[in-house]
Amino acid sequence: MAKLKINEYHKKGKIEPEVYGHFSEHLGRCIYEGIYVGEDSDIPNVNGMRVDVVEALKELKVPVLRWPGGCFADEYHWKDGIGPKENRKKIINTHWGGVVEDNSFGTHEFMELCRQLGCKTYVNGNLGSGTVQEMSEWVEYMTFDGVSPMAELRKQNGREEPWKVDFFGVGNENWGCGGNMTPEHYANEYRRYQTYVRDYSIKPEEDDEDSDDKKKKKKKDEEEKKSIRKVCCGANVDDYHWTKGVLKTAFDHTEKKFHGFMDYLSLHYYVHPEGWEIKGSATKFDDKVWYKTLKKALKMDKLIQRHSAIMDQYDPKKKIGLCVDEWGAWYKNEPGTNPGFLYQQNTVRDALIAGITLNIFNKHCDRVKIAALAQMVNVLQAVLLTEGDQMIKTPTYHVMHMYRHHQGAQLLESSASDVETVGIGKWQVPKITESVSLGEDGMITVTLNNLSIESEETVEIALADKGYQVKEARIVTADDMHAMNTFDQPETVTEKDFSDYQTGEEGITLTMPKNSVIELRLAK
């Protein structure tokens, strides 16, 4: 029997809502068909955005959306995607499937999507094949509220008011598809490019005769109110050499600080059960591959710890957040689909990957400030799949829906003991993983995962105070670890009420079914 101790009096930090973010790239059927069908489509839409998809995503409380890539970002030239659609330049999407990209979904459409979702905007700029001027003008086009060539161009294209860009990525995967750069070269390019990603919400100082204290206060106030937060391209998986090289080069060793031009450092990690080259099937796997997959999902904890340790050398006060803006499972594409479209199914195994990963992010809320599941619709570990006018929610969707209560909550001190190890051969994993938070509504959210495919597990939950009651309990599971939702059977794996728990004088005891993700909401 596993035991979970919770100290509701020890708050360890805020779980930023953006940790539950999403990623949409011009890749396969993610944007086109998945999200955007155009205003003239027979599929119900608002300004081209699918009504069913937007409504489903709103239920997740999507906090932030990253766009336009991914590898696509460093070949994307934003002026191709503005103005009358019939005049927009058509290009070949060289990274993903070699199909024609007609640029009918561009800056205006992305901002409209975020408006409908009610989420923050994360725009990824082109450092790999773009120019400093191009990036600077894009920021000006989107955010400048004044008289300028780009602001006038935006108005000519139908948008009078500027938009708010919350996060701006200066390049993507520049160690690979974004230019095959060395960390030192990229860091110097980052320093140059980010200089021209101007935050037009901050006005220049007018009084040069202010005291040093007043100047410091002004800078602090500006930092707190600034609109655009800049994301520096971080490492791929365990490339600690990249992290060290970028931070060492970007760091000002004279003044011993980053001058505020880096707000986040990114990290990308995908779970490939059979390795990068083979990847493995999304739906056909045996017991060993199940545990191998979850063991690799658990690696996220080690990656965050080790990259954070390097960041601590240059940023001990943790002013720079870790931005895990690409994560999830990456399998072979579904048979009969374009290999470049990365379309894959989603099973109970993916529900566990999501539960494990989100618990890890919660536990590292002191450093992990943004994350983005890859990807939102029809690509990799998607939360939604579409086919024509049909749409289904995946097991991953239902887990993220349960976990939404962690957004903006305070991480509570918690520890699991007497946790059995399960697995096959070297692929051993803890049977239970967890995280706990306290929301502004006073409710405590407990999320638990049972990684075993053989047996249930009883868990005793004890809090510092007695008298807590279960106000809501939900579960995502299925007897068959291969269970999935299809267009013929869309409700095979869903979020359901959970009732196998008892409340006693010493706490709460629950019995977790095998391969399950559970959420408890507690209050006095």
> Residue 17 is encoded by which pair of tokens?
């809502």
- Euclidean distance between CA atoms 109 and 46, whole angstroms: 11
> Residue 51 is encoded by which pair of tokens?
């009504």
Q: Exactly one of 8, 18, 112, 173 is catalytic; which is it?
A: 173
326 catalytic? Reply is yes
For residue 153, which of 225, 93, 94, 78 has the smallest C-alpha distance?
A: 78
Helix (H) or strand (E) holding 297: helix 287-314
SS3 365: coil
- Euclidean distance between CA atoms 477 and 350, whole angstroms: 11
Compute the residue count for the chain: 524
SS3 363: helix
> Residue 332 is encoded by which pair of tokens?
């072979």
For residue 168, which of 110, 111, 122, 225 has the smallest C-alpha distance?
A: 122
> Residue 74 is encoded by which pair of tokens?
């460093």
Q: Exactly one of 101, 109, 326, 457 is catalytic; which is it?
A: 326
| Cβ proximity of 167 and 370 under 8 Å | yes
- In angstroms, the Cα distances linking 32 to 193, 247, 456 are 30, 37, 42
- Euclidean distance between CA atoms 144 and 202, whole angstroms: 11
For residue 101, what are the contacts with CB-CB under 8 A and spacing of at least 6? 26, 90, 91, 92, 93
Listing DSSP states for 225-293 in one string gives H-SPEEEEEEEETT-HHHHHHHHHHHSBTTTTB-TT---EEEEEEEE-TT-TTT---SS---HHHHHHH
Tally of CB atoms within 10 A around 415: 12
For residue 231, which of 173, 312, 273, 147 has the smallest C-alpha distance?
A: 173
Helix (H) or strand (E) holding 169: strand 167-170
Q: Hey, which residues are catalytic here?
A: 173, 326
